[in-house]
């Protein structure tokens, strides 16, 4: 049988094979078989949802045991090297090198974590692998140690690489300052810049090189600013005829070609007309709302990452779109206020695209209790997780104890989109109406 990619032939039980199995567990299967595996997993999720809804006293159960019809998985236009963002860790490799740049194999619980180079991993593009190799070369030359455990000292930490179809490449290097003074930090930043602009790293042709001093596992720009060492402050992507500006920490769908297919389908499912108001919750850089702005009278976007909102506003202005407004803040703080005073007579359609943590309960409650919202599209990359709780809250009978007074929604259609070939994940779009 032909594999998904003939280029990946790995020695049995090698570290490379173990990494491929961990990161891209379906890499051995032909692509059509991968889609079938994902279809079956989505079926099980909808069966679980039907059972849970039945327990809550709804009539969502359909003859085939699903809560609503499930369409076939929509394939990704690109199968290999589709990721536009990769995060590489720095840790001890299988050969003992403490400055290995790659991806983790093993678990903290088992205390068997090693970092394996990702040169063979199917879903990572060659440009990301090239930047990772150059970063490893740089830190191996550096007298400073890698920061494997915060309390053990060390400095060099993870690398994020972002690329676009316009040919732009952004690298973001995270560094633990420990006890270094400003002069020593300035020296490291200068060496890093020199390596990637004049040294061996110049081969990467970086559009942007960022540096972030971080004493935590993850830091937002507000907690610890991204420092631009070289190049342009943003990279740019083109999607559905629009141009989008991307900041270091802004959310953008990881599969750009797949996102185009997804957003086109979302536009059709919204059934938006010229007088519709589109509510884009967890809007990131505004990609969904802006791509649908020409179909609706107004777009209202809500997003917690301030830099992403700045990008969204820039994107709207640059593309000549004037019917969008964006609100920065946590959805659970912004949305209840926004909807509590909603008196607009125009039809209101909501699109939500939260992280794996799902929507905060207050967001679900605000949607339920806003009678103007009759149609809701929920885009989830992990529908079996916290999103399932949201689905049940949206569809359960009114519950005064939970302040869920509004009429319940019903799931009417589910469409999976394969945004992550070679992995077990896909993006599920669930259409709810009431």
Residues 208 and 168 in one domain: yes
Determine if residue 205 is left, alpha or beta; phi over 0 gives left, psi from -120 to 50 gives alpha, anything else beta.
Answer: left
- Check pLDDT > 50 for residue 167: yes
Q: Which of 180, 199, 233 is the last residue of a domain?
A: 233
SS3 content of the chain, % helix, strand, coil (to 5): 35, 25, 45
CB 93 within 8 A of CB 140: no
Count how many domains the chain has: 2
267 within some domain: yes
CA angle, residues 227, 203, 132, in degrees to nearest 5: 60
Write the CB contacts of 224 (distance below 8 Å, at least 6 apart in sequence). Answer: 212, 213, 214, 215, 216
Which pLDDT score, from 0 to 100, does residue 63 have?
Answer: 65
- Check pLDDT > 90 for residue 157: yes
Residues 329 and 203 in one domain: no
210 within some domain: yes
Which pLDDT score, from 0 to 100, does residue 106 have?
Answer: 82
Task: Please identify every residue annotated as catalytic.
Answer: 381
Of 371, 264, 253, 348, the residue nearest 300 (C-alpha): 348
108 within some domain: yes
- Check pLDDT > 70 for residue 65: yes
CB 396 within 8 A of CB 411: no
Sign, CA torsion 338/344/345/349: negative
Check the annotation: does 97 bind a ligand: no
Q: What residue numbers bound the domain in which 374 lies?
A: 255-433
Check the annotation: does 253 bind a ligand: yes
Residues 387 and 314 in one domain: yes
Task: Tell me the CATH number at 140.
Answer: 2.40.50.1070
- Check pLDDT > 60 for residue 1: no
- Check pLDDT > 80 for residue 7: no
Distance of CA 16 to the CA centre of its chain: 25
Check the annotation: does 303 bind a ligand: yes
172-223 pLDDT tens trace: 999 999 999 999 999 999 999 999 999 999 999 999 999 999 887 777 777 7
Determine if residue 330 is left, alpha or beta; phi over 0 gives left, psi from -120 to 50 gives alpha, anything else beta.
Answer: beta
Which pLDDT score, from 0 to 100, does residue 11 have?
Answer: 60
Least confident of 28-42, 218-232, 420-434: 218-232
Residues 213 and 327 in one domain: no
244 within some domain: no
Higher pLDDT, 77 or 339: 77
Percent of the chain with pLDDT over 90: 77
Supply the pTM of this predicted model. 0.90
Which pLDDT score, from 0 to 100, does residue 58 have?
Answer: 79
CB 239 within 8 A of CB 291: yes
Of 192, 205, 15, 12, the residue nearest 115 (C-alpha): 15
Which pLDDT score, from 0 to 100, does residue 66 have?
Answer: 92
Residues 276 and 225 in one domain: no
Residues 91 and 219 in one domain: yes
Q: Which of 233, 263, 296 is the last residue of a domain?
A: 233
Q: What is the mean pLDDT of the chain?
A: 92
């Amino acid at each position: 049988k032909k594999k998904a990619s003939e280029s990946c032939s790995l020695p049995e039980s090698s570290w490379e094979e173990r990494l491929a199995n961990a990161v891209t567990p379906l890499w051995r299967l032909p692509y059509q078989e991968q889609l079938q595996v994902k279809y079956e997993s989505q079926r099980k999720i909808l069966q679980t949802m039907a059972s849970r809804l039945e327990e809550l006293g709804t009539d969502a159960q359909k003859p085939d045991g699903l809560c609503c019809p499930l369409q076939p998985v929509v394939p990704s236009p690109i199968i290999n090297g589709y990721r536009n963002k990769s995060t590489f860790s720095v840790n001890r490799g299988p050969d003992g090198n403490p400055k290995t740049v790659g991806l983790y194999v093993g678990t903290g619980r088992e205390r068997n974590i090693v970092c394996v180079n990702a040169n063979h991993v199917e879903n990572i593009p060659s440009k990301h692998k090239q930047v990772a190799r150059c970063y490893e070369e740089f830190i191996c030359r550096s007298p400073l140690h890698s920061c494997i455990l915060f309390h053990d000292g060390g400095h060099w930490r993870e690398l994020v690489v972002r690329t676009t179809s316009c040919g732009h490449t952004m690298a973001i290097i995270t560094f633990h300052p420990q006890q270094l003074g400003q002069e020593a930090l300035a020296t490291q930043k200068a060496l890093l810049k020199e390596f990637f602009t004049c040294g061996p790293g110049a081969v990467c042709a970086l559009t942007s090189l960022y540096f972030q001093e971080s004493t935590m596992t993850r830091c937002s720009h507000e907690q610890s600013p991204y420092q631009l060492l070289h190049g342009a402050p943003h990279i740019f992507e083109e999607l559905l005829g629009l141009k989008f500006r991307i900041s270091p920490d802004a959310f953008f769908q990881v599969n750009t070609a797949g996102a185009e297919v997804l957003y086109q389908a979302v536009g059709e499912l919204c059934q938006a007309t010229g007088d519709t108001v589109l509510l884009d919750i967890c809007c990131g850089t505004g990609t969904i709302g802006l791509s649908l702005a020409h179909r609706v009278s107004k777009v209202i976007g809500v997003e917690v990452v301030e830099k992403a909102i700045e990008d969204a506003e820039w994107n709207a202005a640059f593309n000549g779109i004037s019917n969008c407004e964006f609100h920065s803040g946590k959805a659970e703080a912004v949305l209840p206020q926004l909807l509590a005073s909603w008196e607009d007579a125009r039809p209101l359609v909501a699109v939500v695209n939260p992280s794996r943590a799902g929507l905060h309960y207050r967001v679900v409650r605000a949607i339920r209790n806003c009678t103007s919202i009759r149609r809701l599209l929920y885009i989830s990359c992990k529908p079996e997780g916290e999103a399932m709780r949201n689905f049940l809250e949206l569809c359960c009978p009114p519950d005064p104890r939970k302040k869920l007074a509004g009429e319940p929604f019903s799931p009417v259609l589910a469409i999976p989109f394969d945004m992550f070939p070679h992995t077990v994940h896909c993006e599920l779009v669930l259409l709810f109406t009431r």
